[in-house]
Structure 1
Amino acid sequence: MSGFEFRETMAGSYHRVDDPHKERPLSFTIRARSAPLLRFLRRPEVEIEGAIDAPGLAEHRYLRGTLGMDLLRTGTLPYAFHFQGDDDKPYVFEGRKNVSARELVESMTVLPGEIKTADGDLVARALLRFDARSDLLKFLKSFRRSR
């Protein structure tokens, strides 16, 4: 039994810890692909890959990682991916949507996160949003069975 795939774009800003008052744009677009359905149900996580745009850190750089989708059990959607910066050093993005039934739209569309070095040192804090008004239909249309 096949799995599924979808595409998502999140956009917002980030602040470097060494320059916290300067807001910089940040966005990423991912393609998420699940394992075959029975395996996905046992471990609800999808593989993601795509591109990150963070001027001053990583402009249109390839990213790869995971998105946890065990929403019913954990109430969260954790994003974790790695990418190479413009300085050719490895970085990690970690973020988590904390989903709340009381504020469903807001909690499903806001992603706070952090960018760290490969050693775990904090480089920046980020706040991204999914633009439901302009991207929801495109997002829903991107869902399909994967091979």
Structure 2
Amino acid sequence: MGVGLWVGAAGVCMNEHGEVLMVRQGKEEEEKLWAIPAGGTELNETSEECCIREVFEETGYEVEIVKPLYIKTGKSFGVDIKLQYFEVMITGGESRIQDPDGLIHEVAWKKVAGMVEADFGFPEDREFLLNLLKENALR
């Protein structure tokens, strides 16, 4: 693994109303923006394990992996990133904020079509989510 490569996982959970489970996050002094529950892998943790842990830490929901969706690569804050997105399904738990980093301020089901890019901490996720929701509606 290259120096300065951040590897993480994100859990995309959709409900029957065409909404996506999202968290509003940011440091106290920053604007709070919406994002998919995600975080970095810990030592000896698979992407799948990271995804399940991060969704639980950030939302309170226990999930299982449905399938891998895609891998986002690029740079964020000058660091190379590799973020594996998974479709997940809730198997238990309840909505509650228990983020050890204290960055999560709200957990909610959001209609992505009603959101603008400025609502997103990672604006590139909006188009990906809209396409995913469209595919799911066709299933």
Fold equivalence (TM over 0.5): no
Q: Which has the higher contact order (CA 8 A, sep 6+)?
A: 2
Under a length normalisation based on structure 2, what TM-score does the superposition of the two structures give?
0.29
**Normalising by the residue count of structure 1, what TM-score does the alignment of the two structures yield?**
0.29
